[in-house]
Each structure stands twice: as structure tokens, then as C-alpha cells.
Amino acid sequence: MIPNIVKGRGITGSLAYVMGQGNDENGKRIELVPGETSRAEILGAQNIGFEIESADDLDLARRMMEWNGKEENQASKWRKCEKDCLHASLSWEPGQNPTRDEMTAAAQGFLKSLGMETAQAIFVAHDDTAHKHLHIIASRIDPATGKTFSQADDFTKAQSWSLYYEREHGQIPQNEARRNLHKIVDAIEARDGAGVVEALTERVPTFTARELDKALSYGQLSKDERATWRDEILASNNVIGLRETADSPVTRYTTREALAAEMALQRNTRALAEDKSHGRHGAGDRRARQGARVGRA
């Protein structure tokens, strides 16, 4: 399950895109010809107040969501929300075939993870790719309060939700990067700080405190728990702080194992550069030149 989030101005444009047939390689809108079926299938909606069963229903829902997003209808006394539309997509991997109900439940669970369970939203599935995916068009204005839904850490929240969704549904990702994220979640659930750092340094040997904090945020920890554990991990004997100079502050971290591997690589590289046993030099080089001349004669 791979989530993607885009925020923009206006519900109308986003709905026109997801209900349309997309664009061709030249950027022109693709139009249906007689006999073709649309790639778009309306799965349902939430907090609209009625079922969307026709084009008229969809248009009414669109106008309701646009109305809530108008600046004069927003409750904030200060800065109004300009990007009032959240357009998200959820993509399953090839071979995973969720039902309509499962896709709708996933869309609702996704919005809930962002604190948007009361948001007005429309769910549309597309069948024009090898993998199942759906689009969520939601108003970022709470219809009950007129205030903007918080967007704090929403990309991280979405990633965390998708990882736990895969785990709950027994979906093993094919993507190596996502497999590594699951290793991090495994270590978090086991409260294995060394395991978190090992997974974090699997592809890149160093990391920052911020990158560690982001990794820990994929687990279901409170903000205080995350901060306390992050500090404990950075203070552990296996983690080494790195500085640009002896007097500079620590900017990155690594592990003793990663540092030892880097130092061994440097030693091997230096030894190989100094090794002349396989080069062309000395008596061997002279004999080779002499043999070449004899051959030409």
C-alpha cells in the first residue's frame, strides 16, 4: 500500500481529473469514444449525507464541498485556508485485489489516520493500471466547525498508517525500501533500539537525529515516548557522533559496525593503491617491451 498526498486549490479540478480519462503523451485530455467504458468508478463517499449514484449526485456533493471551502464560510478569524482540497491516492501492489468494500474501508481508515474522519470526501477507483488504486478527494475544511484540518506530520502519519495496513492484511511489499521500513517497525514493536539503527543504516551508513526521529514516528508511539527513546538510542555505546572538525557539533551519527566497515574499506583501498605487484614496472616491464620489439621484427 503506497499512499500519496497532494494539496491544492479547489475540489472541482481534482474531481474533473479523477472522473476523466487522464491525458495522453502530449498532455491532451483523453476522451471516451462510443463503446469504451470509463476508467473511473465511484466507490462511495463519507459525511456527504447521501449516496452518490448519479452525475447529479456527484455534482451536488462537489458544490457542497466547494461551498465549505469558500473563504467567507471558513471559521478562522485570521489566515484562511487557500489549498482547501486534499487529493490522495492509495495504490496496492500488482496481484493484490481488494474488493470495493475493502477499498472504501481503506480510504476511510486513511483519512482517520490524518484526523480527518469527519471530512467530506469522495472515493473513486481507477482500473487503467496493472495495480489497483483509488483516489480520495476530500475537503480540508471541517464541515462541523468550519476550521481547517491540521496538516501536521500528515505525510509521516500516512506512511505509518500504510505500513500497519499492510501488516494487518498480511501484505508483503515487493519494494525493497518498504521492506526496510517494515524492519524498522518490527524493531520498534520489539523496543529494539539497535535493530532500529541497523535498519536505518542498511542503505546509508550515517543518519541524523531528525532521520531517527522520523523512523521512530512510523511506530505507534506517543511524542514523549519517541523523544525519550530517540535520546536513549543516540546515547547508546554502539552509536557514534560524527563531526566535521574536532570542535564542531555532532551533525550525523553512525554505528561502530558501520564505522569499522568504512575504515576496513579505506585500508583495503589504500593497500590496493600501493600494491605494485601487478603493475607494469621494473624488469618485467622491460622484458615485455623487448618481447614486443622481437615480435615486430
Asked if residue 291 is part of any domain, the answer here is no
Tally of domains within the chain:
2
Asked if residue 115 is part of any domain, the answer here is yes
Asked if residue 290 is part of any domain, the answer here is no
Q: What amino acid occupies position 270?
A: R
Q: Are residues 228 and 158 in the same domain?
A: no
The enclosing domain of 237 has a CATH number of 1.10.10
The enclosing domain of 81 has a CATH number of 3.30.930
Q: Which of 135, 168, 201 is the last residue of a domain?
A: 168
Asked if residue 292 is part of any domain, the answer here is no
Q: Are residues 245 and 181 in the same domain?
A: yes
Q: Are residues 69 and 214 in the same domain?
A: no
Q: Are residues 83 and 144 in the same domain?
A: yes
Q: Are residues 163 and 180 in the same domain?
A: no
Residue found by looking up cell 501536521 in the block: 152
Q: Are residues 39 and 108 in the same domain?
A: yes
pLDDT in tens, the chain (297 residues): 888 898 888 899 999 888 888 777 777 777 777 777 788 889 999 999 999 988 899 999 999 999 988 888 888 878 888 889 999 999 998 888 899 999 999 999 999 999 999 999 999 998 888 888 999 999 999 999 999 999 988 999 999 999 999 999 998 888 888 999 999 999 999 999 999 999 999 888 899 999 999 999 999 888 999 999 999 999 999 999 999 888 899 999 999 887 776 666 566 566 666 666 655 555 555 555 555 454 454
Q: Are residues 187 and 161 in the same domain?
A: no
Q: What is the pLDDT of residues 174-200, one digit of tens each?
A: 888 899 999 999 999 999 999 999 999
Asked if residue 24 is part of any domain, the answer here is yes
Domain containing 253 equals 176-257
Q: Are residues 144 and 242 in the same domain?
A: no
Q: Are residues 53 and 103 in the same domain?
A: yes
Q: Are residues 31 and 154 in the same domain?
A: yes
Q: Which of 144, 168, 192 is the last residue of a domain?
A: 168
Distance from chain centroid for Cα 235? 28
Q: Are residues 153 and 194 in the same domain?
A: no
